[in-house]
Amino acid sequence: MTVLGELPDGRVPVSVLTGFLGSGKTTLLKRLLKSPDMAGTAIVINEFGEIGIDDLLVTEIRDELLLLESGCICCQVMGDLVDALKNLVARREDGEIPYFSRILLETTGLADPAPVIKTLMDDPALGILVVPGVVVTTVDGVLGLSQLSAHPETTRQAVLADRFVITKPDLVPDGGLDPLVSRLRGLNPEARVFVSAFGDVPACDLLAPGVLQVEGREARDVLVEAEAFLASSDVPVHSEEVSTFSAEAERPVNFASLGRWLRETATDLGPRLLRVKGVVHAMRRDRPLVIQGVGGALYPIATLDAWPEGPRRTRLTVIVWQVAPVEVARMKSGLEQLLSEG
């Protein structure tokens, strides 16, 4: 199956990798970047939070990353995205970075892909450089159904998908994914569905031309149809009462104390703890530890092979839902104090 690359007119396809918080986007991206089929692909990463984490989790595979920070890519940093894509193509033309024939944009878990695609089409200067590619949406096999009901972002990410990647099937009993697949097909019957543990999906299948490249269909028509469906279903743009806070520390951290804080926070908040992720410089550990948690569940601690270049420091981001601002401030203060104590 052919993977969409640079068009005859020189425009570069920009494919979008989206999916709700903790649904496995970075895991999928890490696996894709190991594939020979990803040769000639530039990667752009956006994160929702005050500090970047995902770049640390993928730079061990690929060095040429452009990280956009501080906000939701679909509404708060759209101008930065336009500039980033322009600069990326310009650096390619100047020979500053290796030549690439397509771009893969990993969005924040709270992104609506529709404004991203619309910007690729509507910005005059950008429109002569790039063209919309495909939309790949990861869906949590364990939490996907509840997230589709509770968080409108998941529905918006599903309606525009060319490909679904249902993650974490190893955590679901036989037949347990059937209701989720049925729900996704009801929202978007044209999208192809992959079920994959740990991102094991061929890049040539994921990035093959999708509905925006089908001959005879205009990308703008696809967007209009999607927006009409969402409007008729009364799907809001964003979940309400989502907050994020982050903390950093240069000195090594007492991991036992941090682990206790994480467990207590996960127990107290349960599903209101949408996401926790971070890289930790722990005492008496030479390699960085990776913290991951979704929906109140903490994952087993992982270890990266080595620290990237630069100072070794702990970086943690927490995203919560329906938590009072005063409680968010208390949690942030408590985490910062814990990290400062070393």
CB within 8 Å of 83: residues ≥ 6 apart: none
Same domain, 312 and 165: no
Strand partners, 309: none
Residues 248 and 305 in one domain: yes
Residue 3 resides in a domain: no
From 179, 201, 232, give the residue that closes a domain. Answer: 232
Has residue 2 been placed in a domain?
no
What Å distances lie between residue 261 and 279, 280, 328, 339, CA to CA? 15, 14, 14, 11
For residue 236, the 8-state DSSP code is -
Q: Which helix (H) or strand (E) holds 85?
A: helix 78-93
Residues 127 and 258 in one domain: no
292 with 314, same domain: the answer is yes
Question: Which residues is 317 bridged to in the sheet?
Answer: 246, 277
Task: For the chain, list residues with pLDDT below 70.
Answer: 1-6, 47-79, 209-224, 226-227, 229-240, 342
Per this entry, what is the length of the chain?
Answer: 342
Q: Does 164 lie in the same domain as 39?
A: yes
Same domain, 88 and 117: yes
- The answer to whether residues 271 and 160 belong to one domain is no
First to last CA, the chain: 52
As given in the structure block, the two tokens for residue 10 are 């020189």
Query: Is 1 inside a domain boundary?
Result: no
The bridge status of strand 302-303 relative to strand 242-249 is unpaired
In the prediction, which pLDDT does 137 show? Answer: 96
In a domain, 184, yes or no: yes
**What's the rounded Cα separation, in Å, for the pair 291 and 257?**
14
pLDDT (tens digit per residue) in 265-293: 999 999 999 999 999 999 999 899 999 99
Q: Which amino acid is at 83?
A: D
Domain assignment of residue 246, yes or no: yes
Show which of 232, 264, 287 is a domain's final residue.
232
Same domain, 16 and 138: yes
Please give the Cα distance from 326 to 332 (Å, whole number): 10
Q: In terms of residue numbers, what domain contains 56?
A: 12-232
Strands 242-249 and 314-321: antiparallel
Domain match, 221 and 286 both: no
Q: How far is Cα 160 from Cα 249, in angstroms, rounded to an integer? A: 39
The answer to whether the CB of 237 falls within 8 A of the CB of 156 is yes
Write down the pLDDT at residue 314.
93
Same domain? For 209 and 323 the reply is no
For 107, which DSSP code?
P
CATH number of the domain within which 60 lies: 3.40.50.300
Q: Residue 68: its pLDDT value, please?
A: 53
Domain boundary among 232, 252, 270: 232
pLDDT at 75: 43
Do the domain assignments include residue 226?
A: yes
Task: Please state, in angstroms and rounded to a whole number, the distance separating the CA atoms of residues 23 and 139.
Answer: 5
CATH code where residue 285 lies: 3.30.1220.10
Cβ atoms of 107 and 113 closer than 8 Å? yes
Instruction: Answer whether residue 6 is part of any domain.
Output: no
319 lies in the same domain as 208: no
Residue 183 inside a domain? The answer is yes
Q: Do 301 and 211 fall within a single domain?
A: no
- Indicate the number of domains in the chain: 2
Q: How are beta strands 297-298 and 289-294 bridged, if at all?
A: antiparallel
Q: Which helix (H) or strand (E) holds 157?
A: helix 152-159
